[in-house]
Structures are given as structure tokens and as C-alpha cells.
Structure 1
Amino acid sequence: MNGEVDDPFPVEDCLFEETFSNDSVYNICGQELRIKQVFGANLGVAAPVWEAAIQLSNYLVEQSVELKGRRVIELGAGTGFLGIFAARLGAVVTLTDLPIALPPLQANVSANMPPGGWTSAPSVLPLSWGTDHLTFSSDWDLVLGADLIYLPETFLLLVETLVHLCHSGTVVFFCSKMRTEHKTEEFYEEYLPTRFRVELVQRDELQNINIYKATLRT
């Protein structure tokens, strides 16, 4: 032996890079979405396209939920998959997330402009629940969210934000993987019903994913 030891983590494997990305193409309901998923740089759950976003996108089309011309805000948009899909179908969309998630989110919006241009280009804005929600209007037609329910300490902040964003005619559609360790079911059964009428509208037993529809209690 010459005393040299092979490096168990070769540099070319990118194991120690701060970030790495994955470009994916999704064909859904006649729309082709090109989504870059940027992992690392503290993006956490904002990095990937979650199955919940895909399922909710399909649900909106399958249930003929009117999107064209509707004012839509997505909370915790992450990659923007869900909101970009709604915008491609003619919705007037505002995508929101924490400030750190906005640059890759804006890049995905730019990468998915339809061939004929946007009817209304999606806006990308920072929104920290319970902190700066008052800077947003309260006249949204739809509030969307996919896999938002992770931290119990944010549950009251999310409900507070939703109450501000919604009026009597606003419909909320949330889709979540029902993770016991994150008390997801508790949010939908105990927290959200304090201010909203909540209905389970779709259940995927195989993937343990639920879609909920909620409207403000008046």
C-alpha cells in the first residue's frame, strides 16, 4: 500500500455542492410544464414538485373548476407548479412563498410562458403567514395550496392569513399528504374548521393524499 486512500465521496458526485437542480417536463391536462427543482440553499420543502400539486391540478380540471379570468392566489407555491398550471388555463395568478424561494419560483414562471404569451402573467410575491398578509387584498376567487401542512406552530398563522385573504365567495382548495408526524389531519379537523366550513372532496388511499375544499364561515 502507498498510504493513499480513495476519496469515498468523489467531487464529481456533487455531494458537497451547495445546490443542485433537476429539470423536469410534466404533461398534464394538455399543458406542458417545464419545472426546475433547485435542491439545497435552505429551500427545504419548497424545492420539489410534490405529488399533491399534481393531484390538485388534475382535480381542478376534472371537476371543471372555473379558472379563466379568476383571481387566484397560491400559498407556499414552492416551484410554482400548481399556480403556473392555473395561469396557463387563464387564471390571474399571484404566487407566494417565503423570500428565499422566490428566485427559482420566478425562473419557473418565466420558463413556462405560453407560445402566444400570457393572458395575464403570474405575479410572484413574498408572503410570510401571519406576518405580512395584510399587504394583500381580500378579494380572491380561489386560494390554492399543495402540501403546506408541516409545522404545527404555523397552523394558527396560516388560518389567520386565510381569513384575511378570503371573502364569502372565496373557495379554498388545499391538497395534502396526510403525515401523522406533522399533524396534518389535526390542521384540517381542528384548526381550519374554527373559521371555515371544510369538506373532504377527494381521498387517494394509495398515496395517502387528501383534497379539501373550504369556505369562510360568515
Structure 2
Amino acid sequence: MICAAEEDDPFPADDCLFEPTFHQDTVYRLGGQELRIRQEFGADLGVAALVWDAALQLCRYLEEQPVDLGGKRVIELGAGTGVVGILSARLGAIVTLTDLPLALRQLQTNVSNNTPFSGWPTSPPTVLPLSWGEDHSNFSSDWDLVLCADIIYLPETYPLLMETLAHLCKNGAVVYLSSKMRKEHRTPYFLDEYLQSRFIVELVNRDDKENINIYRAFLRKD
């Protein structure tokens, strides 16, 4: 863990007494890529600060299948640290990373920290604010893939997320959703009652040890 204090600060850096946040940089090797992901811990970011296991599972799934990412138009919802979308961009996708405004600085930092020496295969990921159910109409429906990692944990957001997914997938985008199956957060309820009401849903990967499912979904045409 690294505090934001400078080395010549009169207060001990390891105390972190006067800093609102601290950060931790971790190197992940995923999809043949080495990613340095910063997690900024503090009261503002909350769950968006962390690299969750479901995100790493989705990264590995995209690598192992493999899912063709070259030139694909990809949007990630609730991107947090951006590890899934950044990996997709490193593998050739045209990526838009979205989250609430407070998470955008961390996202942009991670995009900058992971610029390949030879440059991005297509373009750097775009970082934009997106509040589900409120401003999704500002985004097009012309995506190939919508990526979601561990964003199913607040029941009050489920109707808003469904509105957003339906809008983004109007023109045939495929959703990949990776989630820890938390009964206390009614995660199975979202999948059974919300997602399957409007999408054709397929379970494509299950990790019993971590209790993480990965789903592929397509918007119903009827």
C-alpha cells in the first residue's frame, strides 16, 4: 500500500493520518497481458475501489474461450478499476468504460498506467459517466459486447440496470455478466426475475469454489 504523502513530508507516511485516501498498485497477468491496476481506497469510492474476483474470472473467461475482441465495440458498466475493459482494449477492442462520476479519476488513471509501449491496438479506452436508468439514452445502442462484472448487489438498482441493458442491446449486443451469487443481495433474483424477463440468458461458466457465475445474454426480439 502506498500513501499519497511525499517522502519529505514531516508526518510519517505510513500513518496516513492526513490523507483522505491511499492506493495500492497490483500487477495482474491476464490474457497474455501485464496490467498494473491501481485501487484507490477511501470513503468516496467504496466498492468501486476494488478488483473483485468476478472481474478476474470474466477476464480469464474472455481469454480462455476465446471471445474475439479485435475491433469489437465494447462498453463496460460499473467498471470500477477498469480491469475488464482495459484488458479488452489491450486485446484490440474499441472500449468505453463507464461508472458513476466519483470512479472516473481511478478509471482514467488505470487507462493511462496501462498504455502499451507500442500504443493501443485501436484506440485508448474512453472513460464516461453513466448513471443507470438516468442518462443511458446519451449512449448509442451500437455495441458488440456489454461487459458487467460484480455489479448485481443492490436490489434498488435492478430496474435501472435493466433499462440500461435493454437500451444498450437494442441492436444485438451480447452481454457477458460475471457475478458472485450473493443470496443476501438477491443476486439470483435479479437473474431469474429481471434479466430473463427481457433477455435470453445462458450460464456459460460456473466456479463452485468462488460461487461465481458468468452468463451470456441476448435481448429478446419479441
Aligned residues: 209
Q: 1: distance between equivalents of 2:14 and 2:200?
A: 52
Amino acid at match of 1:169: G
Residue aligned with 1:143, SS: strand
CA deviations on 1:140-169 (whole Å, 9 max, x unpaired) are: 000001000111010010000001001352
**Contact 1:168–1:215, Cα closer than 8 Å, also in 2:** no
- SS of the equivalent of 1:130 reads coil
Name the structure 2 match of 1:170: 173
Identity of aligned residues (%): 67
Q: With the length of structure 1 as denominator, give the TM-score of the two structures.
A: 0.92
**Does the alignment pair 1:80 with 2:82?**
yes
Q: 1:115 to 1:12 in 2, by over 3 A?
A: closer
Distance across 2 between alignment mates of 1:139 and 1:168: 6
Contact 2:162 2:194 in 1 (8 A): yes
Which residue does 1:34 correspond to in 2?
Answer: 36
1:179 aligned partner: 182
Could you tell me which runs of 5 or more consecutive residues in structure 1 were left unpaired when the two chains were aligned.
1-9
Indicate the residue corresponding to 2:92 in structure 1. 90
In structure 1, C-alpha distance between the alignment counterparts of 2:87 and 2:16, rounded to whole Å: 31
Q: Matches of residues 79-118 of structure 1 in structure 2 within 5 Å?
A: 79-118=81-120
Between the aligned partners of 2:17 and 2:52, the Cα distance in structure 1 is 23
Q: Distance in 1 between matches of 2:91 and 2:124?
A: 12
TM-score (norm 2): 0.91
Q: Deviations for 1:78-128, whole angstroms, at most 9, x for unmatched residues?
A: 000000000000000000000000011101001001111112110000000
Deviations 1:56-76 (A, max 9, x none): 011012112110000000000
The residue aligned with 2:5 is: none
Q: CA deviation at 1:11?
A: 8.5
Are the counterparts in 2 of residues 144 and 173 from structure 1 also a CA contact under 8 Å? yes
Q: Which residue of structure 2 lines up, in the alignment, with residue 151 of structure 1?
A: 154
Which of 1 and 2 has greater Rg?
1
What is the aligned partner in structure 2 of residue 61 from structure 1?
A: 63
